[in-house]
């Protein structure tokens, strides 16, 4: 057992209202610089939709992530030989148009235009070239199903759905969509890291945050292809790749990442998990269909005496173990089993988990009347979104995994409705609990953490112990005695 | 025509900085003759017909002495003030310009005296050119093409020069085509050139690797053979092969990277047509 700790997250999709506040918070802090105009380290997509960049989930096009060979993961994009052959030309890069060309408006024209018969208009101009442009796409262009015939209809997750099920998404009365907020997953087995020829990408040992060293990056841009989630971006001005840094400077000072902190729907939960690094390869290389299960098996029980003993022996600080026990992510993912990683079939073992959304109940036409939820929430298979769609998104097509989560989410609603409204018979409540395999205590806990959590409940940020991490590579006293406290880097002229 | 001009300019520049004569100095000759042999004879003859520059027999009668002196002393000045005679001559000889030879006023006078004396002489000092039959043209060709390494390990002529039929795509193009060298410079001129290779580009290359006298004879014999041919310009063939090669290269790239990622969003919009793009 090789125990590591990782700061990870859960996004509760039922709570996301698609307001993009998280994206704006991130943009304001991190990607307002030249060369980063088109980047959205955090973005919110409408599903069904093609997302950002366009069709990022289609690895036949983008070649991101891993495939399995002899029980081991292997990058899809290249092996050693083809990496060398394509070193000066990565043939699988998205174009700017596949992200979108960022733009602004010439607002000055509204005030400075010469007097005339017509109202002045602020023309859109490219934020990169400054030239006038026609806006044809944006990072959330298919928001709320806009442009459906082009964008939503081409959602790669429709592959497993039949024609009728696809139509159901767009038919009046049954029309449905939901939001999928995305940040870097800070994967256990990152494709970007493995693809980097310069060794510039690393996963921090103490908290699992995946970072691109701006000093080592040599702009080969292999990480952009290697990441199946397209969450590394190339800064055309700096000539370096950049990605979500999980707001580590905020976390190190005890604050939640900006996108978490600003989330209006309070859908985001953050906490530390312990996992076994010895089993990464076998999990990432496990046969299709079992990857998500194997990944969840990697995550260790922080209450298990054996795990605690081993973690302490391997130098995991006591405080981190304590925070792992309080982690809301552990509860959602392991204790309650209602959160799953996004597209586990990419085999990067992403450490960001999603609770699938239940979505509004369907209305059934009965003569002239529409009856809403005649069997409260009905069976999971009557859900607005076909089970198979979420299965394609979160469980490699394993519909039973989604059904199990739905049953539990329905049980929470049925139980709580019986408690607060009281119009559901006891037998129906007990049936829901039995089907979900849960009990009132667990239901209450899920309810409290879903609906009534405080900031401290949602963000259980472990102490980052940077001082301890730094001491592993440098002795601060050493520096004090020889160089003083003021400099960390040698000046060019010498000391 | 352009090649010819370049050829002439090469020769002229080379002579301009030439410090050693290409003909051995004879103790019995006067200073004017010696200077003529060293500095002038590569381009001019006296009664031997025009070469790179005009035949100088009778030049002292055709031109005034003062004009001759100032032209030989500083030809550049004459050209820059567009002296009508200098300009006409230059045009006549393929836009070749006589270089500044760097002679002192005494040396200029000595040369002009020598030219005057030769003009007055009843018998032409240079008889009709003799054709020496020495040298093996086959060996010369092998030397030219680099199949035979010269004794002093100088580079093969073909590295920089072409002759008609030397190779499928011709020889090098840095130097001029040498097919008609023999005709242009004649027996004596070719001998003199092969002996000293006085061109500014060639001199440093062959300085420590001179051609032996047998090699010079073989090459001269080769050039004599070549003079019967017509120079052939291989440029169209080379251009065509380059063009075809480039297209093949592009096709190869298109094949090797045929699975590369192309426009994703544009393709979607194209596939679905302009309706429903979500734009008003």
CA–CA gap between residue A289 and residue A292 (Å, rounded): 8
Q: Which residues contact A279 (CB under 8 A, 6 or more apart)?
A: A294, A297, A298
Question: Phi and psi (nearest 5°) for A104?
Answer: -135, -175
Crossing angle, helix B137-145 and helix B213-226, to 10 degrees?
A: 100
Q: Count of CB atoms within 10 A of residue B167's CB?
A: 12
CATH class of domain segment(s) B2-120: mainly alpha
CA–CA gap between residue B266 and residue A94 (Å, rounded): 12
Q: What are the tens digits of pLDDT across the range A443-489?
A: 999 999 999 999 999 999 999 888 777 777 777 676 666 666 666 67
Helix (H) / strand (E) containing A434? helix A426-436
Contacts by residues A120-127 (CB-CB < 8 Å, ≥ 24 positions apart)? A126/A101, A126/A102, A127/A37, A127/A101, A127/A102, A127/A103
Into how many domains does chain A fold? 1
Residue B49 three-state SS: coil
State how far the alpha carbon of B151 is from the alpha carbons of B133, B154, B215, in Å: 22, 8, 8
Q: Which residues contact A205 (CB under 8 A, 6 or more apart)?
A: A4, A469
A396 with A341: CB under 8 angstroms? no
pLDDT at A22: 97
Beta strands in A189-267 (DSSP E): 201-203, 210-212, 232-235, 240-243
Chain B residue at shortest CA distance from A60: B261
Structure-token match 């539990």, residue found = A408
- Residue A44 burial (10 A CB sphere; 0-12, 13-18, 19+): buried
* Structural domain contains residue A370: yes
Of residues B165 and A123, the one with the higher pLDDT is: A123
Q: How many residues does chain A have?
A: 495
CA–CA gap between residue B19 and residue B172 (Å, rounded): 28
A463 with A320: CB under 8 angstroms? yes
For an interface test with B, the pick among A94, A98, A140, A155 (most B C-beta atoms closer than 10 Å) comes out as A98
DSSP B210: P
Hey, what are A218's tokens?
């040599």
CB contact under 8 A, B261 and A92: yes
Q: Which residues contact B196 (CB under 8 A, 6 or more apart)?
A: B18, B20, B22
* Structural domain contains residue A380: yes
* Structural domain contains residue A425: yes
Quick one: CA torsion of B113, B114, B118, B124, rounded to 10 degrees?
A: -170
Structure-token match 């004596």, residue found = B188
Question: Phi and psi (nearest 5°) for B113?
Answer: -60, -45
Q: Which residues contact A150 (CB under 8 A, 6 or more apart)?
A: B268, B269, B272, B276, B277, B278
Q: Which residues 241-270 of B are in CB contact (within 8 Å) with A?
A: 257, 259-261, 263-266, 268-269
For the segment A141-159, the average pLDDT, to the nearest whole number, is 88
For the segment A37-46, the average pLDDT, to the nearest whole number, is 96
CB contact under 8 A, B264 and A92: no
Calculate how close chain B gets to A308, using CA atoms only, in Å. 48
**Least CB–CB distance from A54: residue in B268, B276, B277:** B268
Segments making up each domain of chain B, as ranges = 2-120, 137-226, 235-272
CA–CA gap between residue A161 and residue A387 (Å, rounded): 10
pLDDT at B168: 83
Hey, what are A276's tokens?
């076994």
Residues of A at the B interface, defined by Cβ within 8 angstroms = 50, 53-55, 61-63, 89, 91-95, 97-98, 136-137, 141-142, 146-151, 153-154
Work out whether strand A66-69 and strand A369-372 pair parallel, antiparallel, or are unpaired.
Answer: unpaired
* Structural domain contains residue A312: no
Which residues of B fall within a CB distance of 8 Å from A154?
268
What are the start-end ranges of the H helices in chain B? 2-16, 31-35, 59-62, 65-73, 75-80, 84-92, 105-120, 137-145, 181-196, 202-206, 213-226, 235-256, 265-272
Domain that holds residue A389: 361-438
Which residues of A fall within a CB distance of 8 Å from B269?
136, 150
Q: A25 — alpha (psi -120 to 50), left (phi > 0) or beta?
A: alpha
A406-430: burial string, b at 16+ Cβ within 10 Å, e else: bbbbbbbbbbbbbeeeeebeeeebe
Q: How many CA atoms lie within 13 A of A481 on its CB side?
A: 5
CA A131 to chain centre: 34
- Residue A83 burial (10 A CB sphere; 0-12, 13-18, 19+): middle
Of chain B, the end-to-end C-alpha distance in Å amounts to: 66
pLDDT at B17: 41
State how far the alpha carbon of A344 is from the alpha carbons of A351, A397, B15, in Å: 10, 10, 80
Q: What are the tens digits of pLDDT across the range A52-105?
A: 999 999 999 999 999 999 999 999 999 999 999 999 999 999 999 999 999 999
Q: How many CB pairs under 8 A join A and B?
A: 57
pLDDT at A164: 85
Calculate how close chain B gets to A162, using CA atoms only, in Å. 20
From first to last of its 280 residues, what are the pLDDT tens digits of chain B? 455 555 655 555 554 444 333 443 444 567 888 777 766 776 777 877 776 678 888 888 888 888 888 888 888 888 888 888 888 887 777 666 777 777 888 888 888 888 888 877 654 444 444 455 678 899 999 999 999 999 999 999 999 999 988 888 888 888 888 998 888 777 877 887 887 777 778 878 888 898 998 999 999 999 998 988 888 888 888 899 999 999 999 999 999 999 899 999 999 988 877 654 444 4
CB contact under 8 A, B276 and A146: no
Taking 80 as the threshold, does the pLDDT of residue A383 lie above it? no
Taking 60 as the threshold, does the pLDDT of residue A5 lie above it? yes
* Structural domain contains residue A393: yes
B230 with B163: CB under 8 angstroms? no
Q: What are the tens digits of pLDDT across the range A269-314?
A: 999 999 999 999 999 999 999 999 999 999 999 999 999 999 999 9
Taking 80 as the threshold, does the pLDDT of residue A333 lie above it? yes
A476 with A288: CB under 8 angstroms? no
Instruction: From the options 1.20.1280.290, 3.40.50.2300, 2.40.40.20, 1.10.760.10, give the CATH code of B137-226.
Output: 1.10.760.10
pLDDT at B21: 39
∠ CA A214-A218-A221, nearest 5°, is 100
For residue A401, the domain's CATH number is 1.10.3650.10
**Range of weakest confidence among A17-21, A76-80, A134-138, B16-20:** B16-20
CB contact under 8 A, A54 and B265: yes
DSSP A180: E
Of B101, B70, B102, the closest CA to residue B86 belongs to B70
pLDDT at A167: 84
Work out whether strand A72-75 and strand A66-69 pair parallel, antiparallel, or are unpaired.
Answer: antiparallel
Which residues of A fall within a CB distance of 8 Å from B261?
61-63, 91-94
Hey, what are A197's tokens?
């020829």
Query: Hey, do B2-120 and B137-226 end up sharing a CATH topology, with the first three levels equal?
Result: yes
Which residues of A fall within a CB distance of 8 Å from B263?
95, 97-98
Of residues B88 and A22, the one with the higher pLDDT is: A22
A485 with A294: CB under 8 angstroms? no
A230 with A243: CB under 8 angstroms? no
Q: B177 — alpha (psi -120 to 50), left (phi > 0) or beta?
A: beta
Q: A321 — alpha (psi -120 to 50), left (phi > 0) or beta?
A: alpha
* Structural domain contains residue A123: no
∠ CA A346-A219-A31, nearest 5°, is 80
Range ranked top by mean pLDDT from A143-157, A223-237, B134-148: A223-237
DSSP B36: I
CA–CA gap between residue A191 and residue A223 (Å, rounded): 7
* Structural domain contains residue A308: no
Q: Count of CB atoms within 10 A of residue A251's CB?
A: 21
Which residues of A fall within a CB distance of 8 Å from B279?
136
Calculate how close chain B gets to A424, using CA atoms only, in Å. 44
CB contact under 8 A, A61 and B261: yes
* Structural domain contains residue A448: no
pLDDT at B32: 84
């Amino acid at each position: 057992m090789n125990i590591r700790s990782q700061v990870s997250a859960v996004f509760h999709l039922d709570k996301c209202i698609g307001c993009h506040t998280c994206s704006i918070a991130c943009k304001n802090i991190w990607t307002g610089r030249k060369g980063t105009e088109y980047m959205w380290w955090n973005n919110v997509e409408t599903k069904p939709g093609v997302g950002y960049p366009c069709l990022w989930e289609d690895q036949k096009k983008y070649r991101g992530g891993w495939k399995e060979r002899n029980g081991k993961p292997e990058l899809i994009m290249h092996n050693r030989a083809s990496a060398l052959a394509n070193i000066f030309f990565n043939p699988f890069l998205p174009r700017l148009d596949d992200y979108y060309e960022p733009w602004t408006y010439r607002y000055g024209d509204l005030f400075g235009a010469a007097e005339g018969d017509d109202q002045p208009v602020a023309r859109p101009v490219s934020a990169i070239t400054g030239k006038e442009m026609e806006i044809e796409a944006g990072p959330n262009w298919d928001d709320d199903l806009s442009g459906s015939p082009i964008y939503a209809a081409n959602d790669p997750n429709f592959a497993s759905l039949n024609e009728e099920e696809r139509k159901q998404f767009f038919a009046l009365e049954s029309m449905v969509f939901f939001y999928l907020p995305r940040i870097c997953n800070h994967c256990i087995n990152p494709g970007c890291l493995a693809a980097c020829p310069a060794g510039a990408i690393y996963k921090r040992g103490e908290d699992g945050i995946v970072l691109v060293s701006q000093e080592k990056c040599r702009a080969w841009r292999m990480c952009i292809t290697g990441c199946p989630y397209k969450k590394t971006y190339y800064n055309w001005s700096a000539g370096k790749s950049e990605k979500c840094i999980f707001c580590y400077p905020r976390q190190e000072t005890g604050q939640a990442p900006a996108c978490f902190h600003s989330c209006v729907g309070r859908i985001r939960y953050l906490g530390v998990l312990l996992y076994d690094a010895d089993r990464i390869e076998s999990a990432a290389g496990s046969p299709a269909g079992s990857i998500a299960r194997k990944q969840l098996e990697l995550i260790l029980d922080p209450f298990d005496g054996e795990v605690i003993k081993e973690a302490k022996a391997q130098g995991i600080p006591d405080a981190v173990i304590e925070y792992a026990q309080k982690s809301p992510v552990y509860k959602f993912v392991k204790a309650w089993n209602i959160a799953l990683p996004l597209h586990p079939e990419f085999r990067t073992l992403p450490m960001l988990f999603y609770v699938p959304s239940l979505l509004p109940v369907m209305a059934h036409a009965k003569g002239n009347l529409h009856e809403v939820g005649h069997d409260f929430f009905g069976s999971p298979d009557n859900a607005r979104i076909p089970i198979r769609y979420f299965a394609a998104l979160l469980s490699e097509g394993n519909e039973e995994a989604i059904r199990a989560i739905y049953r539990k989410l329905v049980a929470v609603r049925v139980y709580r409705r019986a408690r607060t409204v009281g119009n559901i018979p006891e037998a129906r409540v007990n049936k829901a609990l039995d089907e979900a395999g849960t009990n009132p205590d667990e239901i209450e806990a899920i309810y409290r953490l879903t609906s009534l959590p405080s900031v401290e409940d949602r963000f259980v940020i472990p102490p980052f112990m940077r001082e301890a991490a730094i001491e592993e590579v440098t002795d601060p006293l050493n520096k004090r005695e020889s160089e003083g406290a003021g400099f960390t880097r040698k000046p060019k002229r010498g000391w | 025509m352009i090649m010819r001009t370049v050829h002439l300019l090469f020769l002229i520049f080379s002579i301009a900085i030439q410090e050693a004569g290409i003909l051995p100095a004879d103790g019995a000759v006067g200073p004017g003759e010696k200077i003529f042999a060293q500095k002038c004879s590569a381009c001019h003859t006296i009664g031997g017909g025009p070469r790179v520059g005009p035949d100088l027999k009778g030049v002292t009668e055709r031109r005034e002495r003062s004009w001759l002196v100032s032209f030989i002393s500083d030809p550049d000045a004459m050209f820059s003030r567009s002296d009508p005679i200098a300009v006409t001559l230059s045009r006549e000889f393929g836009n070749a310009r006589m270089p500044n030879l760097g002679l002192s006023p005494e040396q200029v006078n000595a040369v002009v005296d020598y030219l005057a004396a030769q003009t007055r002489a009843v018998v032409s000092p240079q008889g009709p050119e003799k054709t020496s039959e020495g040298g093996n043209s086959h060996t010369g060709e092998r030397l030219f093409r680099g199949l035979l390494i010269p004794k002093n390990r100088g580079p093969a002529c073909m590295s920089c020069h072409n002759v008609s039929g030397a190779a499928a795509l011709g020889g090098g193009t840095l130097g001029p085509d040498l097919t008609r060298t023999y005709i242009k410079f004649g027996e004596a001129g070719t001998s003199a050139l092969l002996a000293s290779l006085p061109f500014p580009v060639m001199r440093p290359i062959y300085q420590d690797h001179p051609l032996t006298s047998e090699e010079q004879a073989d090459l001269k014999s080769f050039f004599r053979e070549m003079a019967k041919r017509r120079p052939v310009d291989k440029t169209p063939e080379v251009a065509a092969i380059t063009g075809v090669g480039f297209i093949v290269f592009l096709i190869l790239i298109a094949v090797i990277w045929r699975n590369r990622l192309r426009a994703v969003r544009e393709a979607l919009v194209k596939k679905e047509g302009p309706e429903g793009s979500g734009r008003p």
